[in-house]
Amino acid sequence: MSHRRLEPGRLVLASHNAGKLREFRGLLAPHGLELVSAGELGLPEPVETGTTFLENAAIKALAATRATGLPALADDSGCAVAALGGAPGVHTADWATQPDGSRDYGPAMERVMREAGHDPDRGCAFVATLVLAWPDGHTEGFEGRTEGTWTWPPRGAQGFGFDPIFVPQGQAMTYAEMSTEQKARISHRARAFAALAAACLPPPG
C-alpha cells in the first residue's frame, strides 16, 4: 500500500493540549517540520462524534486542515481498562471534562479506582491513533498500543492525562514517573508515530 508523503514545512497539530504539543514538537523536529497547535492559532475544538479513535482523530485533523489550508496532524488517544470493558476508551477526555469545560484528570483517575478497584484484573492499555490530513481531504491513519496495568495511588508529576496511574508492561515506573525520553521509547503515541514517520514523513535531517 502506498502512502502520501508529507513535505517539510509548517504542520498544524489539531490539539489544545500543551503536553501533546511538547511531545510532538520533539518527535517532529528532526523531520524538518515546524509544528503549530490549533490552540496557538485560536481554532475551535470540533465536536468529536466518532465511535472510534480513528474517526475522532480524522474529525480533528480535517477540521484543522480546512481551517488553515495547511496539513494537519491529530491524535486521539485513551486509556482502556480491562475491568471496565475497555472504558473510558474514546471517552477518556470526557471523563476528565468539568462543568466549566476545563479538564481535570484527578477525578477521572479516581473514577477508575472507584469503578474498577474491586476487580483483581488490573489490565490496562493506552491506545493512540494518529491521522494526517491534507487540505484536499486526503488522510492517513496509524495506531499504536501499549499494554500494561493501572495502579493506585497515582505516581509521578511528568506527562499528562492518565499517565500517573499507568505502568507499561515490563516497567516499574508509571508514565508520569518517566522522563520524556524514557516515555518516548515505549509509549503508545511513539509507536503510532514510528509507523507514521516510516510511511509519510520526510527522512530526518
Residue length of the chain: 205
The predicted model scores a pTM of 0.85
Asked if 19 and 78 count as a contact pair (C-beta separation under 8 A), the reply is no
Rounded CA gap, 116 and 93, in Å?
Answer: 18
- The letter for the amino acid at 101 is G
Domain count along the chain: 1
Q: What is the mean pLDDT of residues 87-110?
A: 92
Confidence check: pLDDT of 189 > 80: yes
Other CB atoms closer than 10 Å to residue 196's CB: what's the count?
Answer: 22
205 within domain boundaries: no
4 occurs within a structural domain: no
In which domain, by residue range, is 177 found?
A: 9-200
Are 53 and 143 in contact, with CB atoms under 8 Å apart? yes
Looking at residue 91, what is its pLDDT? 92
What is the CATH number for 60?
3.90.950.10
Q: Which residue has the higher pLDDT, 22 or 76?
A: 76
**Residues with a known catalytic role:** 76
**In this predicted model, what pLDDT tens digit does every residue of 117-155 receive, in sequence order?**
999 999 999 999 999 999 999 999 999 999 999 999 999
Cβ 199 vs Cβ 185: under 8 Å: no
Residue 1: inside a domain, yes or no? Answer: no
Is 2 a domain residue? Answer: no
On the question of pLDDT at 73 being above 70, the answer is yes
* Residue 54 neighbours by CB under 8 Å, 6+ apart: 76, 129, 131, 141, 143
Q: What is the mean pLDDT of the chain?
A: 93
Query: Is residue 108 in some structural domain?
Result: yes
Please give the average per-residue pLDDT across 53-60, as a whole number: 96
Mean pLDDT of 68-93: 95
- Tell whether 179 is covered by a domain: yes
pLDDT value for 1: 63
Longest dimension (CA), the chain: 50
